[in-house]
Amino acid sequence: MIEVKIKAVGMDINSMSPVVILSDFEEKNFLPIWIGLAEAQSIAMQLQQAVPPRPFTHDLMVNILNELNATIKNVSIVDLKDGVYYATITLILNDKTYFIDSRPSDAIALAVRTNAPIYVDEKVAEEAFILSENIQQQDSQEEEEFRQFLNNLKLDDLDKYL
């Protein structure tokens, strides 16, 4: 497993869809995951430390986990099938480990609220990471296109849909 962080969350102006960009800690590899608007809003608000007037669904989930003395150990992007990512939330409750199937966007939204690490399976990384270490930066048209994509991400555009 490769530990990743959230590099950006915003609106892809080309597809007009929310996207979360994960990156390794060296920021050499990136994983864009297009997600739902509600999940993007939830992740973005938590990253900005904005407090909603009422708890979002992900806040409710964390409140329930806290009441049960359960902790999220980590979340992992574990598979990619037919263009769809699959995630697992590793949950500890009463010294027992549970692996909960999840959409990546929900797993990430919970991870940012609980400071749980986010991982990407190495097989998924090999298939889906953009700008792997073996691409020469100065020669990569793909890198330039991706930089433009990141530069065009608009977090403020999410506000239009709140």
106: three-class secondary structure by DSSP: helix
| Domain interval for residue 94 | 2-159
Query: In this structure, what CATH number is given to the domain that contains residue 84?
Result: 3.10.690.10
Position 111 scores a pLDDT of: 98
Quote the number of domains for the chain: 1
DSSP-derived letter for residue 138 is: G
pTM given for the model: 0.81
Position 52 scores a pLDDT of: 83
Indicate the residue type of 65.
L
Position 143 scores a pLDDT of: 56
Average pLDDT by consecutive 10-residue portion of the chain (162 residues)?
92 84 89 92 90 89 97 97 95 97 97 97 88 50 58 58 46
> 7 is written with which tokens?
């590099």
Position 16 scores a pLDDT of: 82
